[in-house]
Chains A and B, each alone.
Chain A
Amino acid sequence: MVKLMNKFKAIVQETYVDQVKSKSFIILLLLPIILIALSGIVGFISYQNASSSGNDDTDKIALIADNGIKQSIVQKDGNSIDSSIKTEQQAKQKLKNDDIYGYVKVIKNNGKYTAKYIGNETIDSGVRDDVMQSLSLHQNQLNLSNSNLTSEQIKKLSNKPLFDIHVKKQSNDNKSDDNVIKMSSLQVLIYILYFFLFIYSSITASVISKEKGSKLIEIIFSSTTSTNYFIGKITGIVLMMLTQFAAYLIMFFGSYFFLSQADFSKDFISENSNYVHQIIDNLVNINLVFIIFGLLLGIILAATAGSLVSRREDANKAGQPVFMLVVILFVLSMIFQNNSNNIIPKILSYFPLSSYFFMPIRMINNQANIYEGLISLVILIAFIFGLTYFISKVYKGLMLQNNNGGWFHNLIKGVKYR
């Protein structure tokens, strides 16, 4: 037993180190950084363009009005108003020089305020509203003082209607938030599965098929059992995948933490952290277990496909059957992600070749409870165990034989071989 374990460790280590040291794995690890850096560069360039074009025209106007009115407006819109301009003459000059894009002149005539805007472009609607609000306040005061009313009358005049709001259910706003979270969780789930299944089935199929029919495998099978070797290889690849997972998680949480601290992004992050947390909540539960076992199944299927190729030279094509399955699952999950209570996704959520896509989808959509999830998970795990047992038994035959038949022919031959 100890001997077997030592050999198992050697196989796992060899597979793991060989893969993790490879250039393609390092590129894979750096992929998110490269993507983020690229999008950062693109973002920076477009920001540069936007701000430099923004510099061309001014975003300020001038305001010519009584000091009282001017102050109350500048208080609200200080950023949009160049308060150094006092006279219409100055304003006209500045407008000509393009230092401002327009000016507002407020005049009082016969107890009535009139604001007049002259400019190269339309006045900013926010500034206009503020000007109007301010002016109507001042107009009110003016009206009251001009009308000689008693304080009793003034009080009556200032009566206002009341709008009392009572909301019994969760607000509509929250509901749409929920939907956004659901949709995003589903997208994240489907893409994680798709991405990792694709990468790892191709890695596995090529690792396995490269040894097909080689004399190397003869030496190995004269040293240890094929079961030990098969499970060792799979374990090595799974460890490699977990390494990548861990690296991505560290990158994700590292950058999340950084962005939530950094000045330029912390507001954005704190506004959206709720979304992110809920998406994580949707995935880091039984669904994560589904993801991991789904990927494990993908790896085992790819290893099987790899051992069924005719010749080592076909290593590139080895993963094809698994790729097909992954693409079909991807398309189906895209079709059914919003309609997952249909009979087809219901069946697929228990069928072991597809349950790791569909059960999490249905769980996120609240269409399956934890017990249904566990039943499906048990089926998946049992299937994985059964498949691993079967493959590891026939693995020796599959790997040692050299036939030129199709994969089914090879499977039959391989089973008979040993």
Chain B
Amino acid sequence: MNVILHISKLDKYFDNLHALSDVNFDAKDGRILGLIGQNGAGKSTTFHSILDFIKYNGEITWNGKYINEKTFDEIGYLPEERSLMEKATVQQQIIYFAKLKNRKTSWTKPRIKDWMKKFDVKGDLNSKLKSLSKGNQQKIQLICTLIHEPKLIILDEPFSGLDPVNADLLKQSILEAKDNGATIIFSSHNMNNVEEICDDLVMLKNGEVVLNGSVQEVRNRFGKNELYVTTPMPKEELKQLPGVESVIIRDNEKYKLRLSNPDAGIELFKLISKGEYIEEFSQQPPSLDEIFREKVGETNE
């Protein structure tokens, strides 16, 4: 995979706050990168650095070049909070932003309807933006980000405030953009979204990179230490089994066991199934959510 967005030694101070320290990561051509981290971890600051909004130390290149006016047209950026023009109609807003990405009115206009259908926007081309619901405004903002067919798509918290149906629509369009060859970076608190659609992930904590790699790599790095079982055995009994560190009750007769060592699974299968049919026995690496919590330092549930 070709590295297309290269970030090296990115460092940023706001007054006395060390917002980013020695951040290094790459986004690869045609892949989806999830940028995760708590509030204030430096996700937006990273985006602002990529977009050249702020001064920073370090180097950021897109296709081997610095990002500036010349490369802006290839970028689609969705800011964290939505904000559209007060008086404009849907069509005016989309055409204006597309013009700023160097797409002529005649290019943009015929495409708007399809996008509105794709995102299931309630309202027509000449609806005033302020007459639309918040969710629909958000979709218009997304259309503005994507309609000019950018090569690099930067989405700051795109899923916040979307209901599951609309989140799915967004996921689909992100995957579609990927199929069309775009590179996508998005930030999120919600690990499920990241796990579902990301190829790679970077986790920031207090301005430092604590995880970096493909989703599978990162998960496997933590080992297949989790065992999901369904068994009539009581919790205390499971706890006594060899190699079991802790037991969490998921539901009636459903447990999640944490193993000290992935190899313990073979022995445990024998002990728990006792050679008979067992409804569930699944050994997995920890979910991103768990990794996230662990990394943040809040592993206790």
Contacts and interface: CB of A to CB of B under 8 A. Distances in A.
Nearest to B100: A223
B96 interface: yes
Contacts of B53: 218, 221-222, 396, 400, 418
Given A14-B96, A224-B69, A224-B72, A215 B79 contact: yes
A418 B83 contact: no
Nearest to A10: B99
B270 interface: no
Given A6-B99, A224-B69, A417-B54, A219 B77 contact: yes
Nearest to B87: A18
Nearest to B101: A223
B69 A219 contact: no
Contact of B84 (A216, A224, A228): A216
A220 interface: yes
Interface residues of A, number: 26
Contacts of A215: 79-83
Nearest to A21: B87
Interface in B45-93: 48, 51, 53-55, 68-69, 72-73, 75, 77, 79-87
Nearest to A9: B99
A215 B144 CA distance: 13
Given A7-B99, A7-B100, A222 B77 contact: yes
A228 B80 CA distance: 24
Contacts of B82: 215
B115 interface: no
Contacts of B77: 218-219, 222
A219 B144 contact: yes
Interface SS, A side? helix
Contacts of A225: 68-69
Nearest to B73: A3
A18 B84 CA distance: 14
B54 A216 contact: no
B102 interface: yes
A215 B83 CA distance: 5
Interface residues of B, number: 28
B174 to A, nearest CB: 18
A223 B79 contact: no
B72 A418 contact: no
Interface in A203-237: 210, 214-216, 218-225, 228
Contacts of A7: 99-100, 102
Given A221-B53, A224-B72, A3 B102 contact: yes
Contact of A417 (B55, B81, B86, B144): B55
Nearest to A401: B54
A185 B224 CA distance: 89
A258 B107 CA distance: 48
A344 interface: no
A222 B75 contact: yes
A148 B97 CA distance: 108
Contacts of A220: 100
Nearest to A214: B83
A329 B84 CA distance: 38
A4 interface: yes
Given A6-B99, A10-B96, A223 B72 contact: yes
A224 B73 CA distance: 8
A143 B101 CA distance: 103
B79 A218 contact: yes
A6 B55 CA distance: 27
A341 B24 CA distance: 66
A222 B68 CA distance: 9
A222 B72 contact: yes
A256 B193 CA distance: 71
Given A7-B99, A222-B77, A216 B85 contact: yes
A216 B68 CA distance: 18
Interface centre among B53, B86, B99 (most CB of A within 10 A): B53
A14 B55 CA distance: 29
Contacts of B79: 215, 218-219
Contacts of B101: 223
Contacts of B96: 10, 14
Interface of B: 48, 51, 53-55, 68-69, 72-73, 75, 77, 79-87, 96-97, 99-102, 144, 154
Which 6 pairs between the two chains have the least Cβ-Cβ distance? A215-B83, A223-B100, A215-B79, A10-B99, A222-B77, A216-B83
Given A4-B69, A215-B83, A223-B73, 18 more contacts: A3-B73, A18-B85, A214-B83, A215-B81, A216-B84, A218-B51, A218-B53, A218-B77, A218-B79, A219-B97, A219-B100, A221-B53, A224-B72, A224-B100, A225-B68, A225-B69, A396-B53, A417-B55
